[in-house]
Amino acid sequence: MVIFVAKRLALMALTMLVVSLLLFLLLELTPGSVATKVLGPYATDEQKQLWLAANGYLEPLWSRYIGWLGRFVSGDFGQSIRFKAPVADVLWPRLWNTAVLGFWTFAIMIPLSLALGVLAGMREGAGLDRVISVTSIVTTSVPEFASAVLLSAILVFWLGLLPGTSPMTSGFDWRQLVLPVLVLVLYDFGYVTRMTRASMAEVMTMPYIRTAELKGLPRRRVVVRHALRNALIAPFTVITLQINWLLSGVIVVEYFFAYKGFGALLLEASLNQDIFLIEACAMIAVFVAAATQTAADIGYTVLNPRIRFA
């Protein structure tokens, strides 16, 4: 098990190294374009040359990469052009905001979709199953920008219960968090629910469930002890992949509600060609993707003894 985890972590480090190299080559292969982005389109060639020399861009590619990587690992992401501040100062608070948003989305969505999926899958084809399945298909097929508009229209403009934007300018306000979380949950819970339902429905047809029932176990115990653990193996992977989605997939929601999160930052950085900010955001995204994948792999083996001992 220790060997397995070590191997997974090594693989994750390797993945990130490869991606960082690709990213570096993509954005910084030609120093001239970096200088143009940093100094703006109206800078003279002389200014650019001076900037390049001052920032070590005249050195060979590999030594620049090593230096870049070293600074990156130590947390020095460079200077943001747009915000006129160190990238780290801009990035961390934004990431924290998105983490708060993601946490609440998960805290509501996961129990909800697992419960609904299990309820639906327990008796495939029953009335409850049909209601849950149709609901989850409908909510998943409505895109976030549509549901955001709709929910705002009802909850903000018609009922006047909640604020329409969530900039959190005067400190944390949970009322501003409700709408973004609601939109995200609404969009994503159907997907997880359907995955759970399919997995649960399959497990319920397994011979070992019949064994458990014919042992005389109460239905509750059959579901909780015998079915759930096996049924959760497949959705577990799906759930960990949702973390990844929350990081960059929330751009629409954050932008719509003017929420100062990571997605909105990524969008802003791209629109303004804020090269060092883009690099930092991309590396964070890659890190989260690789980390969730690793967590998914490790968690999968913990849940599934057949893999653990194979």
The residue ranges that bind another protein (CB under 8 A) are: 3, 206-208, 210-218, 221, 225-226, 229-230, 233, 303-306, 309
Q: Least CB distance from residue 217 to another protein, whole Å? A: 6
Element (H, E) at 79: strand 79-80
Residue 96: both structure tokens together: 């924290």
Cβ neighbours, 10 Å, residue 228: 14
| Inter-helix orientation angle 2-28/31-39, to 10° | 80
Q: Least CB distance from residue 300 to another protein, whole Å? A: 12
Burial class for 189, CB neighbours closer than 10 Å (0-12, 13-18, 19+): buried
Residue 271: both structure tokens together: 């629109």
CB-wise, 9 or 267, nearer to another protein?
A: 9
Q: What is the CA radius of gyration of the chain?
A: 24
Q: Which residue has the tokens 């160190």?
A: 86
**Bridge partners (DSSP) listed for residue 79:** 86
**In 3D, which of 239, 133, 250 has the Cα closest to residue 184?**
250
CB-wise, 33 or 304, nearer to another protein?
A: 304
Q: Is 166 helix (H, G, I), strand (E, B) or coil?
A: coil
Q: Least CB distance from residue 187 to another protein, whole Å? A: 31
Q: Least CB distance from residue 302 to another protein, whole Å? A: 10
CB-wise, 2 or 159, nearer to another protein?
A: 2
Q: Least CB distance from residue 301 to another protein, whole Å? A: 12
CB-wise, 111 or 305, nearer to another protein?
A: 305
Amino acid letter, 231: A
Element (H, E) at 89: helix 87-122
Q: Least CB distance from residue 1 to another protein, whole Å? A: 11
Q: Least CB distance from residue 275 to another protein, whole Å? A: 42
Q: Which residue has the tokens 């930092």?
A: 280
CB-wise, 71 or 215, nearer to another protein?
A: 215
DSSP assignment letter at 59? S
Q: Least CB distance from residue 17 to another protein, whole Å? A: 22
CB-wise, 97 or 294, nearer to another protein?
A: 294
Q: Which residue has the tokens 């703006």?
A: 40
Cβ neighbours, 10 Å, residue 128: 13
CB-wise, 4 or 92, nearer to another protein?
A: 4
CB-wise, 41 or 216, nearer to another protein?
A: 216
Q: Do residues 195 and 117 lie in contact, with contact meaning Cβ atoms separated by under 8 Å?
A: yes
